[in-house]
Amino acid sequence: MKRIKKFGLIKEGVTRKKFTLPTILAVAWIITSLLGMSFLPLRKENLESSTLNLAFVKEKILGAGDNKIHGFAYYDGYLWASTRTSPGRILKIDPPTLDYQRIILDRGLNNGEDLISAEGYIWVILHTSPSKIIKIDPNTLDWEIAVAFKSGEVGHGGSLEYAFGYLWAGGYGKIAKIDLDNLRYQIYDYSGTVGNTQFHALVSGGNYIWGSCPCSSLISQKTDILRINPSNPTQYDWLRLDELITDDMVYINDNLYAGTESEWKSSHVYKISNDLTFTKGITHNTKCYGIFYHQANGLWGTHEEKPGKLIKFDLDLTLKGVYNLPNDFNHANEIVFDEIGNIYVTCWESPAKIVKLTPNRS
């Protein structure tokens, strides 16, 4: 007969070897080093209880087939969402009621990824290969394929950013710089640095375009952060992190803020300066799905827990508070804010769910 004990398999009649804490930490350090992982005894933040003074306003479970909102934006009095479904769907949502109108794209126009507003229209990039960009009239809901990339250009589209007078679209290893006046574009290839990985996020700030390319394998996880000159996108610098950066990051006051969603490690929030030096903090044991900012409401993060969790923190990565979503509203994913500061949170579920909150100013 054998007895299973923690840290060892013990046979009857055999003296049990004592494992001290230093021994355990040393073994863990060796294993994680071999796997390309970090093993640091960082202090984890207490994110268990709601501490933020937010008032719950409304919740909404979307209809059948309106699954997994991936792109989310507020424009001209409405919320807009794209779904990672086949075919893709685009939703125009009324903020007071959370009722919505639905566009179902044609067959083959699958997996809406990023969604933004620019030049009076809504734009959605599709995770197809080659990728396509959909243009939507926000008033009539008429839509068209505005950009259809050719083979070898932008594939598996993942990110959009409107900055410096152009629409920037990221896919596997490449970025397109698009003139919205005539929809002509130029392709820039970064695969020599990032390999065949997706530009999962694009933002602008500090007179740069910033791109995030996460890559995961069986033995390691990493993200390349590129700082690109928009006037000459062939000029860029880059930083490699040993964690997976999320698809929502923000640039504020000369710093890029990004969360992590690695499989094997605690999550963090990174603060990356223009010279590509960084600090990190807000350690927690669940994935951070995104970082968001609103001038009146500050910096926020979403976490994948059940129920989903929001965190608020300051520019120095000091945790300011936590808010737990209602029960059964799991995996908080995207956040947008309206012009008066209401907060709208999506849940990465099928069907998707939305929660509306407001800062309690009483």
- What is the tens place of the pLDDT at every residue in 288-335? 999 999 999 999 999 999 999 999 999 999 999 999 999 999 999 999
- Structure tokens that stand for 319 in this block: 């945790």
Contact 343, 297 (CB under 8 A): yes
Report how far residue 182's alpha carbon sits from residue 241's, in angstroms, rounded to the nearest whole number.
37
For residues 279 and 1, the model is more confident at 279
- Residue 45: its pLDDT value, please? 57
Classify residue 76: in a domain, yes or no: yes
Expressed as residue numbers, the domain containing 100 is: 50-359
Q: Looking at residue 256, which CATH number applies to its domain?
A: 2.130.10.10
Contact 133, 119 (CB under 8 A): no
Please enumerate, as own/partner, the contacts of 18-27 that have beta carbons within 8 Å and a separation of 24 or more: none
Classify residue 20: in a domain, yes or no: no
Angle formed at CA 30 by CA 24 and CA 35, multiple of 5 degrees: 125
Classify residue 39: in a domain, yes or no: no
Classify residue 280: in a domain, yes or no: yes
- Residue 4: its pLDDT value, please? 29
Mean residue pLDDT across the chain = 89
Classify residue 5: in a domain, yes or no: no
Report how far residue 173's alpha carbon sits from residue 193's, in angstroms, rounded to the nearest whole number.
8
Q: What is the pLDDT of residues 42-96, one digit of tens each?
A: 445 556 678 999 999 999 999 999 999 999 999 999 999 999 999 999 999 999 9
Domains identified in the chain, total number: 1
Q: Which residue type is seen at 258?
A: A
Q: What is the pLDDT of residues 235-278, one digit of tens each?
A: 999 999 999 999 999 999 999 999 999 877 899 999 999 999 99
Classify residue 211: in a domain, yes or no: yes
Residue 46: what are its φ and ψ, rounded to 5°?
-85, 105
- Structure tokens that stand for 111 in this block: 């997996």
Q: Residue 158: pLDDT band by 50, 70, 90 thresholds?
A: very high
Q: What is the pLDDT of residues 2-37, one digit of tens each?
A: 322 222 222 223 333 333 444 444 444 444 444 443
Classify residue 80: in a domain, yes or no: yes
Classify residue 72: in a domain, yes or no: yes
